[in-house]
């Protein structure tokens, strides 16, 4: 693909983009990991050791998404507008397990760490839409066996989803934008380096404050996502230029 026609955009999002919708981040002072240890709720070993405790951790977050007044915000909407109006492909790779991007209208979307509203059967491997509470007593709608349903979530030590498709997009994009992520969790935190080194993409960080990877970005704008993201998308659509 020649340089002048390549205007593909890859956007990585993290918990910061959903903060102003009322969902906690992980590593902020009031974040999830300040209230519970990830080793107790977000690893396969934790699930083997205390399945009901891990189910309750995800049941309470799924309930908040279902019953709380949690809606997509202006940053999610701006990314859906970018996908609709940009004269090239826009792929959102989200670390988030909430459903706010799709509810804002984004279509070209990969949930690399899984989704709250899905379950997976350990017996037959099927992935099912699952909006209510989950427990070890649940029976798989596909294979009919009980005791195998788990959250369709990628825990620490597990392989993130659709990594080949993500790396292929990183290796052919002209612009990589990272939004609302602290750059602590790999392999997502390594995507900016991969995009820079493999295709010399322009790289932009939009965050409340500089992330762990801040120095790796060619451009950065700091502030709340609902202010910074719509403004950035507006400029991108006005100029049509990725850098």
Binding stretches for ligand BV8 (CB under 6 A): 14-16, 19-20, 25-28, 31, 42, 95-97, 113, 153-160, 180-182, 184-187, 207-209, 211, 224-225
Q: Is 124 or 197 the residue whose CB approaches Zn ion more closely?
A: 124
Pick from 38, 124, 129, 168 the residue near Zn ion by CB under 5 A.
Answer: 124
Which of the listed partners (ligand BV8, Zn ion, none) does 187 bind, with a CB threshold of 5 to 8 Å by partner kind? ligand BV8
Is 140 an interacting residue with respect to Zn ion (CB under 5 A)?
Answer: yes
Which of the listed partners (Zn ion, ligand BV8, none) does 182 bind, with a CB threshold of 5 to 8 Å by partner kind? ligand BV8
Is 123 an interacting residue with respect to Zn ion (CB under 5 A)?
Answer: yes
Least distance to Zn ion from the beta carbon of 50, Å?
22
Respond yes or no: is residue 113 known to be catalytic.
yes
Give the span between the Cα atoms of 87 and 7, in whole angstroms.
8
Which of the listed partners (Zn ion, ligand BV8, none) does 30 bind, with a CB threshold of 5 to 8 Å by partner kind? none
Catalytic residue among 101, 113, 116, 152: 113
Which of the listed partners (Zn ion, ligand BV8, none) does 133 bind, with a CB threshold of 5 to 8 Å by partner kind? none
User: Mind spelling out the 3-state secondary structure of 31-82?
Assistant: CHHHCCCHHHHCCHHHHHHCHHHHHHHHHHHHHHHHHCCCCCCHHHHHHHHH
DSSP 151-197: EEE--TTSPPTTHHHHHHHHTT-SEEEEES--S-STTGGGHHHHHHH
H or E segment at 111?
strand 109-111
Q: Which residue is nearest to ligand BV8 (CB)?
A: 16
Pick from 75, 91, 93, 121 the residue near Zn ion by CB under 5 A.
Answer: 121
Least distance to ligand BV8 from the beta carbon of 121, Å?
19
**Own/partner pairs for 154-158, CB < 8 Å, 24+ apart?**
154/112, 154/113, 154/114, 155/42, 155/43, 155/44, 155/46, 155/47, 156/38, 156/39, 156/42, 156/43, 157/43, 157/44, 157/45, 158/44
Q: Which residues are catalytic?
A: 113
């Amino acid at each position: 693909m020649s340089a002048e026609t390549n205007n593909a955009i890859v956007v990585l999002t993290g918990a910061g983009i959903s903060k102003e919708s009322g969902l906690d981040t992980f590593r902020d002072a009031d974040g999830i990991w300040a209230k519970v240890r990830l080793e107790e709720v977000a690893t396969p070993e934790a699930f083997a050791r205390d399945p009901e405790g891990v189910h309750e951790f995800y049941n309470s977050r799924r309930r908040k998404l279902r019953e709380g007044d949690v809606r997509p915000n202006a940053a999610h909407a701006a990314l859906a507008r970018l996908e609709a109006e940009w004269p090239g492909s826009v792929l959102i790779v989200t670390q988030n397990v909430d459903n706010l991007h799709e509810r804002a209208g984004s279509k070209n979307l990969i949930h690399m760490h899984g989704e709250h509203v899905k379950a997976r059967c350990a017996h037959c491997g099927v992935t099912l839409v699952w909006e209510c509470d989950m427990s070890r007593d649940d029976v798989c709608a596909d294979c009919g066996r009980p005791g195998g349903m788990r959250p369709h979530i990628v825990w620490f030590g597990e392989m993130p989803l659709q990594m080949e498709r993500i790396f292929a997009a990183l290796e052919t994009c002209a612009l990589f934008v990272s939004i609302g992520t602290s750059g602590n969790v790999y392999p997502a935190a390594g995507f900016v380096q991969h995009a820079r080194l493999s295709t010399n993409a322009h790289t932009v960080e939009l965050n409340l404050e500089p992330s762990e990877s801040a120095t790796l970005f060619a451009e950065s704008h700091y502030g709340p996502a609902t202010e910074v993201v719509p403004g950035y998308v507006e400029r991108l659509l006005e100029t049509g230029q990725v850098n």
